[in-house]
Structure 1
Amino acid sequence: MKRSLIIFYAIIIYAVAELIWWGYMLVRLQPARFGMILGEGAMFVVVFLLGAYNMHKSVNKERKLQEQKKNFLLSVTHELKSPLASIKLLLQTIQKRDLTKAQTLDFIDKSLNDIERLDDMVENMLLASKIENRSYSFPKASFNLSTLVDTTVNRLQISKCDCNQQIIDAEIEPKIEITGDKFALTSVVTNLIENAVKYSRPCEALSVKLFRKDDKIYFQVADHGIGIPDEEKSRIFDRFYRVGSEDTRNTKGTGLGLYIVKQVLDKHEATIKVRDNRPAGSVFEVVFGLT
């Protein structure tokens, strides 16, 4: 890619230099037509440079996309290997050690959690692929959004802290019905909560709220994590985009979660906004219109 860019820029410089040279030669041969040559030459240079600039933007955009795809593949490989290695170790321990029933059940629970994590990841990749190929129809039906959010919160609740505290503080208004694609909206709720957990410090509390207000349904996820810089807020819903530098980032992820969230909500004519939390972190707010 770098070699192609060098060749591209070299051709641009050569073409501009040749244009200036031929313009100079024409003026020497026909001094009386200096104004016409200068005007037409200037117009050609402007059009040429505009084309070159747009070409540069396209090439640069493609280069960044290729880098993001490469990082995505590396991230997916790591994300898949980590839970698989954990499941393998847990099952080998059950197989080779004489464990108590309580220990065995604990190891099985941990294995099931890792399997659910793998399942979420595979569902994300499949849904993102279908959205990208426009092969997903988003079948809609009426269902209880309150139950969906409550079930997801309970599944993602973390209790690995020394204080054994409940880090997801949920305020869910009961019996909120909505018409939509339950499978796709489950992915929205899961991705937003998982992101909040992922970008928060261990045992850091986060908030999940679902409520009705002014003929609208609000779903909010607030964390006290690292936050999102203002210059990146407009890009976080792009495919493969992840906050921060690829070289220094420690947070796991594939860059598909928020892309899926935005695409699914657009299909449901819902909006999503992100704002800074106080004193630190981010708040994601989804707004559905009641139908």
Structure 2
Amino acid sequence: MKHKVWHKYAIVYLAAAALILIATNLVARPFYQSDNMKRHKSRIYKECVVISDEYISEYKLPGFSLDTFLLQMKAVRMMLDADIWVVGADGRMIAATGENLDTTPINLNEKAPGLLDNIYSENVFVEGLTKEKALCAVEPVKEGYSIKGFIVIAEPMSRTFDETDNFIIRMNIISGACLLILLLVFFLFAVYHTRNLQNINKTIIAYTDGDFTAEAGVRGHDEYRDVALSAHMLAEQHANLVDYQKNFVANISHDFRSPLTSIKGYAEAMKDGTIPYEIQGKYLNIILFETERLSNLTNDLLDLSNFENKGVRLIWERFDIVKMLKQSSATFEGKCSQKNMKIRLVFPENELYAYADKGKIQQVVHNLIDNAIKFSKPDSVVTVVVAEKRDKVLVSVKDTGIGIPKDAIGKIWERFYKTDLSRGKDKRGTGLGLSITKQIIAAHNENIKVISTEGEGTEFVFSLQRADS
């Protein structure tokens, strides 16, 4: 049954992927090319009109000063990146701004019949004038009702096609990203059903083997939940269930259920009118707050899962650690202003480079500064110090907050662990940040340590490999 479910999801996903790619490459391309061509036609024609009205009007064709006119037209050509031709009423070329042009007299009525009769012409090629097929716009130069000549602007056709190609490439990149997200959605949806059945089955087998500490880990309020609860009743007679809340699945279930309950309660209250419309904004903010908690927890869980299953994959690079810390600290400006706090950076005058995974180290710094702000008192300062020691770069994040009790220092790296002092303050935290931080630093074969005095503050110090300047 499981294979059939996955097979169906795979077919749906592949069909959706095929439709998206077909729509992008076969349907969107001609529409965009058509619109792009219209934009280019409109642009060069407007310039034809401007040249005819503002430049040619100063002269009387024929007989005007070509040197002065060509000097002006070369400036316009640089702006347009297109050739400008001045043509007599008989179709004879008078002047052109292109480079390396054939100086042999050219008559456009002979070389490009019909060109001067239309406002726009595509795929125009005139030997001696154009190096490739061009898009042309034509504007007659009139004196009264008499046509004295023409202004022609010629732009390479390849430009519109190149722009279309670039647009399609960008669309394919966006489509690829969307397909990856869609793949994740399909994967999670399918996993939900199969994993619930597997978890329930494994739990029952564990109970029959005498392991009454097993937990199905089924969330929601559906038939899966009912079956899991029925199986769980078999284990309630054993005293070791007191440790139930300490295992991994229980923590996940608790941290998900609490915000979901708030979201569900406030949403139902707004739906049935218990909460008046005038004050719904307050409760919508609470819902957004709880949603952010769920999002943070999910992201942290995915990070931990990837770290444990695949290991911490590092992309090593040489980067300016001071510059990175400045950028990371700047992102906390809003949080600092809320508590009237400051972040003080202390770093050497010379540039200091580290060799590590920049993205992962930014995540470490973000976790440490976020914790420092979270547990600091208003009007205080978080100090970030960067120093070099032999072949190492040392980074310190220090606060003057509530500190960590001595008996809890060894436990702060555990998943979901929160000290009693932090539970009232850390409403946004998932209890996973320091665990992730520890794994990232360990993957770099470096160390992180904590120095803390309860009631005075906490300092985290980690090391990185120094890169040669």
TM over 0.5: yes
- Change over 3 Å in CA distance of 1:159–1:263 after alignment to 2: closer
Distance 2:244 2:454 in 1: 37
Alignment root-mean-square deviation, CA: 3.7
Contact (CA 8 Å) 2:394, 2:462: kept in 1 or not? yes
Q: Hey, what does 1:288 align to over in structure 2?
A: 464
The question of 1:160 aligning with 2:337 is answered: yes
Q: Hey, what does 1:69 align to over in structure 2?
A: 252
Distance 1:215 1:135 in 2: 26
Contact (CA 8 Å) 1:142, 1:177: kept in 2 or not? yes
3-state DSSP of counterpart to 1:152: helix
Deviations 1:81-119 (A, max 9, x none): 9xxxxxxxxxxxxxxxxxxxxxxxxxxxxxxxxxx9999
User: Aligned AA for 2:426?
Assistant: T
Q: In the TM superposition, what is the alpha-carbon distance from 1:195 to its structure 2 partner?
A: 0.5
Q: Hey, what does 2:446 align to over in structure 1?
A: 270
Contact (CA 8 Å) 2:448, 2:462: kept in 1 or not? yes
Q: In the TM superposition, what is the alpha-carbon distance from 1:259 to its structure 2 partner?
A: 0.7
Contact (CA 8 Å) 1:72, 1:240: kept in 2 or not? no
Q: In the TM superposition, what is the alpha-carbon distance from 1:68 to its structure 2 partner?
A: 2.4
- Change over 3 Å in CA distance of 1:69–1:120 after alignment to 2: closer
User: Aligned AA for 1:206?
Assistant: V
Q: Relative to structure 2, which stretch is displaced further, 130-139 or 228-237?
A: 130-139
Distance 1:153 1:60 in 2: 43
Distance 1:254 1:75 in 2: 12
User: Aligned AA for 1:228?
Assistant: I
The question of 1:7 aligning with 2:237 is answered: yes
The question of 1:236 aligning with 2:429 is answered: no
Q: In the TM superposition, what is the alpha-carbon distance from 1:64 to its structure 2 partner?
A: 0.2
Deviations 1:218-252 (A, max 9, x none): 11011111111111111111112122279x63322
Which of 296, 303, 314 is matched with 1:127 structurally?
303
- Change over 3 Å in CA distance of 1:139–1:118 after alignment to 2: farther
| Higher Cα radius of gyration | 2
User: Which runs of 5 or more residues in structure 2 are unaligned?
Assistant: 1-212, 214-231, 265-291
- Change over 3 Å in CA distance of 1:218–1:240 after alignment to 2: same
Contact (CA 8 Å) 1:80, 1:118: kept in 2 or not? no
- Change over 3 Å in CA distance of 1:273–1:136 after alignment to 2: closer
Distance 2:432 2:338 in 1: 28
User: Aligned AA for 1:137?
Assistant: R
The question of 1:148 aligning with 2:324 is answered: yes
User: Aligned AA for 1:202?
Assistant: P
3-state DSSP of counterpart to 2:464: strand
Q: In the TM superposition, what is the alpha-carbon distance from 1:70 to its structure 2 partner?
A: 3.0
Deviations 1:237-289 (A, max 9, x none): 1112122279x633220011101100000000111111125970111111224
Distance 1:80 1:275 in 2: 38
Percent of residue pairs identical: 27
The question of 1:198 aligning with 2:374 is answered: yes
Contact (CA 8 Å) 2:401, 2:455: kept in 1 or not? no
Deviations 1:8-59 (A, max 9, x none): 45xxxxxxxxxxxxxxxxxxxxxxxxxxxxxxxxxxxxxxxxxxxxxx6xx7
User: Aligned AA for 2:435?
Assistant: Y
Q: Hey, what does 1:208 align to over in structure 2?
A: 384
- Change over 3 Å in CA distance of 1:135–1:76 after alignment to 2: farther
- Change over 3 Å in CA distance of 1:75–1:222 after alignment to 2: farther
Distance 1:269 1:79 in 2: 42
Q: In the TM superposition, what is the alpha-carbon distance from 1:170 to its structure 2 partner?
A: 1.3
Which of 424, 448, 463 is matched with 1:249 structurally?
424
Q: Relative to structure 2, which stretch is displaced further, 277-286 or 217-226?
A: 277-286
Q: Hey, what does 2:397 align to over in structure 1?
A: 221
Contact (CA 8 Å) 1:169, 1:206: kept in 2 or not? yes
User: Aligned AA for 1:170?
Assistant: L
Distance 2:411 2:366 in 1: 20
3-state DSSP of counterpart to 1:194: helix
Q: Hey, what does 1:171 align to over in structure 2?
A: 346
Contact (CA 8 Å) 1:217, 1:288: kept in 2 or not? yes
3-state DSSP of counterpart to 2:371: helix
Deviations 1:169-228 (A, max 9, x none): 111335221121111111001000000001112232111111112332111011111111
3-state DSSP of counterpart to 1:186: helix
Distance 1:153 1:281 in 2: 19
For residues 26-45 of structure 1, what are the structure 2 equivalents within 5 Å? Answer: none
For residues 50-61 of structure 1, what are the structure 2 equivalents within 5 Å? Answer: none
